[in-house]
């Protein structure tokens, strides 16, 4: 396989300022709805990149779980690598890529924890297995000896919290919300002359500009 030969042309059209909404969050919701309506698997999947105080960057795929008052919400273990990074450096970036639509959204901003109540409310909406799983992975990102260790923990926790009973939200698990200062909407075009429309925070308003591809 020659990686240099792997390429596709983009043919689904373009975007311009006139087609974009004044509020980037309304534009975000519109594109997300299109992806959902097109039945793209896990249309809310996003890459979240964080960096520690030494500037070492780590990225991973998570699921966007809320667009609330101009903030992007996701939930995770507060002992994870991402949580440790955010404790040292609250700046993060998010990229959502919809290959089928030849689109992506890139977001930059600062991150803080959601309220404890918001974490509990979302946790209680999760399937039973996911709630148990949050307890099983209490030491997320730590080294474990073997996978059987997880199965043993799971069995103990399922006995402690049987299906149908309340599984409390762990104090080491909860939500984050990213407050954007930068949102870029990207649409593939032929010849790699892609469209890039960027919203940049300007006080309480947003400046919209076209970027060179």
Catalytic residues: 192
H helix and E strand count, the chain: 5, 9
Q: Specify the length of the chain in residues.
A: 213
CB 195 within 8 A of CB 187: yes
Total Cβ atoms within 10 A of residue 170: 17
What 3-state class would DSSP assign to 97?
Answer: strand
Q: Alpha-carbon distance 29 to 72, whole Å?
A: 11
Cα distance from N-terminal residue to C-terminal residue, the chain: 27
Q: Alpha-carbon distance 80 to 183, whole Å?
A: 26
What 3-state class would DSSP assign to 108?
Answer: strand
């Amino acid at each position: 396989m020659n990686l240099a030969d792997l390429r596709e042309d983009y043919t689904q059209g373009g975007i311009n300022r006139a087609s974009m909404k004044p509020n980037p969050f309304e534009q975000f919701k519109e594109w997300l709805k299109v992806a959902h309506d097109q039945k793209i698997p896990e249309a809310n999947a996003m890459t979240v990149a964080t960096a520690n105080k030494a500037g070492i960057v780590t990225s991973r795929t998570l699921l966007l779980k809320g667009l609330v008052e101009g903030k992007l919400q996701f939930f995770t273990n507060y002992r994870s690598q991402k949580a440790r990074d955010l404790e040292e450096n609250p700046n993060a970036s998010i990229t959502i890529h919809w290959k089928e639509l030849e689109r992506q959204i890139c977001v930059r901003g600062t991150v803080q924890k959601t309220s404890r109540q918001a974490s509990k409310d979302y946790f209680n909406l999760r399937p039973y297995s996911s709630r148990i799983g949050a307890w099983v992975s209490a030491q997320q990102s730590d080294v474990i000896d073997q996978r059987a260790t997880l199965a043993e923990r799971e069995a103990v926790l399922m006995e402690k919290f049987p299906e149908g009973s309340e599984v409390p939200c762990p104090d080491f698990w909860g939500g984050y919300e990213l407050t954007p200062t930068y949102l870029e909407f990207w649409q593939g075009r032929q010849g790699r002359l892609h469209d890039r429309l960027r919203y940049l925070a300007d006080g309480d308003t947003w400046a919209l500009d076209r970027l060179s591809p």
